[in-house]
Amino acid sequence: ARIYAEQCRNYWCSDECLQKCTRMKHSEYFKKTIPCLLDKLTLDHKPKFGLMTPQHMLEHLIWVTKATAKDKGPAPEELTKSQQGFMSFIDKGAIFKYRPSDKTEEDLPPLKYASFEEAKQNVPTAIERLSSFLEDRSSNVFNPMMGDLTPDGLATFHFMHYKWHLEEQYGLSVED
């Protein structure tokens, strides 16, 4: 279902961000769906799986989005097996899957933001950085963990990553 900004109480993407997002693959999701889902997310939400609190999940999304929206130079001539595997994951549609681990709540990183609301307010900045980074980009993006991705591949990763955490892990829906 398509959801439009007018239906969101807390629509936070600036006009400039909207223009940049329209150049991104999956722009509808970044521009319209994410704000609506975040508007529904509360500190009291419990994940369907995993250990991350809502604030940990938001901080994780912010960090990964900002960390990958940087030019890290050209890819090396030979990519590692891990980088090749990640690129294959992206080529196959970046379908995430929950893998239980032995980690406990003590393994969660310290929170960066003073509050859940502050973390929520910083998501648009991360998305805007990504959209600016990908704007009119035609060359591949090298990331030491992910390998050598096309701009569409990086956008697909983020689309699936946000969907995974917001919709699958936290069960948020624009329909509710």
The answer to whether 55 and 116 have CB atoms below 8 angstroms apart is yes
The answer to whether 65 and 154 have CB atoms below 8 angstroms apart is no
The answer to whether 29 and 172 have CB atoms below 8 angstroms apart is no
pLDDT at 76 over 60: yes
Name residues whose C-beta falls within 8 Å of residue 26's C-beta, 6 or more positions apart in sequence.
Answer: 155, 156, 158, 159
Q: How far apart are CA 70 and CA 142, in angstroms?
A: 9
Q: What is the pLDDT of residue 103?
A: 92
Name residues whose C-beta falls within 8 Å of residue 137's C-beta, 6 or more positions apart in sequence.
Answer: 151
pTM of the model: 0.82
pLDDT at 5 over 80: no
Q: How far apart are CA 52 and CA 49, in angstroms?
A: 9
- Across the range 42-68, mean pLDDT stands at 96
Q: Is 108 exposed, middle or buried (0-12, 13-18, 19+ CB in 10 A)?
A: middle
